[in-house]
Structure 1
Amino acid sequence: MKPLEAKLAVSHLVEERVPLFLWGPPGIGKSSIVRQIADEKGIGCIDLRLSLLDPTDLRGIPFFDQASRQAVWAPPAFLPDGSEPEGILFLDELNTAAPMVQASAYQLILDRRIGEYELPAGWAIVAAGNRESDRGVVYRMPAPLANRFVHLEMEPDPDQWRSWALERGIDPTIVGYLSARPEALFMFDARSPHRSFATPRSWEYVDKILKSTPERELLMPLIAGAIGEELAAQFLSWRSAAMELPDIGALLEGGDVSVPESPNALHVLASLLIQRVGTDTPKERLEHLMAYLLRLPPEFSVMVVKELQHRGVLLEKCDGFKAWIRKFAHLLA
């Protein structure tokens, strides 16, 4: 299941308080999806890393109540206390937790209570974990626990990641590189001995590295530490070849701007145009953009127009849009 579809499915199940387990390889955004849903719904979110807990941490500690002359359980402070009426209790890394911790979680998931504690009615339970084939230390989930969940498996999708990256302002050379080489978005191999590998999360780290403007000699080791040495060398070589770009400001003002010949540069140029143009861009600049897009190679021109339309930019109101349609309509089917 692609990330956007997984997010929609999780959102529906959270509304109905149906427990679900989100499976997927490391670094593809499982926990990010849960946090985004909570933020968008305006509800609480508590992230518990069960691999860090002992069984007593989840169940609580017994103590003697002198009033009732009974032993009662003091629930842990990190569980929802009802101060927020709705929310998501996110049990991350559930299948990496020790079997005894999983057994404690089983009661919470099955009965929505554990010991003296009861989960507030407005809270949903979402769990996540890596697959057994992902080289992590995981414990096979007992069948009774597995049967308490709806199971969804996520996989990365380059097109959806590209749209997300453009909205988030990810460095255009990263977006351009992964548009040209979509297979480089996720290159996890469970058999590889290397510690660093490419995932959507590690490419976001590369963006932060570039924005930190490190010294030139540090760039290669830093990026290699995020995505691996071989891919880092390929990306930096590609980035160097793609940096000869026209002045975007002059382009949007109607200046005489050349069209790059290098496919690498064209990928980066397309990403830059998509990031620089928005719903608040004046119509005059959009007209200059349409005139320039008529000069671009077809696949890059169509890429820019489709993405801008998806983001709500009304190119159809430009005088140059009719000429663009006549030239590229055959590619829009």
Structure 2
Amino acid sequence: MKVTPSQLSSLLQACIPARLPVLITGAPGIGKSDIVAQAAKAAAHDLLISHPVVEDPTDSKGLPFPAADGSGARFLPFGDLAQAIQSQRPLVWFIDDLGQASPAVQAAKMQLLLARRIGEHALPDHVTFLAATNRRVDNAGVSNVLDPLKSRFATIVELEPSLEDWTRWAVRNSVPPVLIAFLRFRPDLLVSQERMREIENRESPRTWGHVARLLPVLPPELQLAGITGAVGAGAAGELIGFMRVWRDMPSVAEILAAPHSARIPETLAAQNAIATALGHAANENNFDRVMVYADRLVDAGLNEFAVMLVSDAVRRDASLAATPAFVVAQSGPIGAALLGQ
């Protein structure tokens, strides 16, 4: 079953309090770990992250320790297992990259997931298991997940990236608006379908996040090289070309200074870009002027970009929904379109 990031977040927030273990599959770099961390926080649970690819089977069952009289031995928990057993607060135990672990390490997880105990050591009731793995087709060193281990999860879902969900994240995390506008213009570049054998990066939500951090610090003469190293030559070349369009647009300052007369770009890429830039710059002090320009976009037949502008602005700052300009807009075409989203 394929789910979007927002669907996965809702699923985890339902399963975590019910103590239902979930296995998440999907390509590398699409946000599996981040979504788990956000869901744990939303459920007010602590988060414990294990990496079984670097574990030994004893990590999951404890170290054997002989009794003083030599009559037997006890398995003493340590590391993540000890932390989970001794936890006092609700806890999400997240087993990351499960499919890269050896069969022996995977087998050692079976009793934990089903019986919630190892030998004499029982897990507290407030511990919930979540796990994630790449797929065998992802060139990520995944051989398989043992069938008996898979069956111990209440459900297995495959995360599929969504541009809409990525955009929501990007707007809230102050990603440069030129990058948001570019991926809206070229949504097929959000995730590469190629699997490379060479040592190079390809497009994914994670690597576009790297680009977001590179853009503010790279001088112009190094942008192509840096972005190519993050997402590959093809996507980097397209982004650099899009940034030239961005530089030729009317500036946000120009539009806010004269929203009734500022130029509306003629090309689709520039219209997309300016709507994204204005949504990023909107605040309570300038939102009335932003809405003047948004209304002009509607008059020019660019309803989609007007709605995108207003949606971005309100996602970044929910208080804008209480401004007089937004209240007025709700009675017009923009409001009708927003209600239909």
Alignment of 1:139-218 (within 5 A): 139-149=143-153, 150-190=155-195, 193=198, 195-211=200-216, 213-218=217-222
SS class of match (1:21): strand
TM-score (norm 2): 0.87
Change (3 A) 1:214 1:57: same
Change (3 A) 1:322 1:139: closer
Residue 110 of structure 1: aligned partner: 114
Distance 2:78 2:123 in 1: 12
Query: In 2, are the aligned partners of 1:290 and 1:320 still within 8 Å (CA)?
Result: no
Output the aligned Cα RMSD.
2.7
Change (3 A) 1:68 1:274: farther
Deviation string, structure 1 residues 31-77 (Cα, Å, up to 9, x no partner) = 10111112223321111111111112322211123279531112122
Distance 1:328 1:6 in 2: 29
Residue 301 of structure 1: aligned partner: 306
Which range moved further: 38-47 or 113-122? Answer: 113-122
Distance 2:326 2:15 in 1: 46
Distance 1:110 1:331 in 2: 46
Residue 56 of structure 1: aligned partner: 58
**Percent identical across equivalent pairs?**
29
Deviation string, structure 1 residues 222-277 (Cα, Å, up to 9, x no partner) = 21111111111111111122223334245335565322333333222212221222
Residue 259 of structure 1: aligned partner: 264
One-letter amino acid matched to 2:208: W
Distance 1:125 1:67 in 2: 37
SS class of match (1:288): helix
Residue 291 of structure 1: aligned partner: 292
Which range moved further: 88-97 or 133-142? Answer: 133-142
One-letter amino acid matched to 2:214: I
Residue 230 of structure 2: aligned partner: 226
Query: In 2, are the aligned partners of 1:294 and 1:324 still within 8 Å (CA)?
Result: no
Change (3 A) 1:328 1:85: closer
Distance 2:326 2:36 in 1: 43
Deviation string, structure 1 residues 154-200 (Cα, Å, up to 9, x no partner) = 10011111121111111111100011111110113236656311000
Distance 2:276 2:160 in 1: 24
Residue 252 of structure 2: aligned partner: 248
Change (3 A) 1:307 1:68: same
Residue 74 of structure 2: aligned partner: 72
One-letter amino acid matched to 1:54: D
Uncovered stretches (5+) of structure 2, i.e. residues with no partner:
none
Matched, 1:132 2:136: yes
SS class of match (2:136): coil
CA drift of 1:306 comes to 3.7
Change (3 A) 1:270 1:126: same
**Equivalences, count:** 328
Distance 1:245 1:298 in 2: 19
Query: In 1, are the aligned partners of 2:329 and 2:335 still within 8 Å (CA)?
Result: no
Which range moved further: 315-324 or 173-182? Answer: 315-324
Deviation string, structure 1 residues 266-307 (Cα, Å, up to 9, x no partner) = 2222122212224xx04xx33222221222233312221344
CA drift of 1:82 comes to 2.7
CA drift of 1:17 comes to 0.6
Residue 84 of structure 1: aligned partner: 88
Change (3 A) 1:322 1:140: closer
Change (3 A) 1:38 1:249: same
Residue 281 of structure 2: aligned partner: 276
Query: Equivalent of 1:43, from 38, 42, 45?
Result: 45
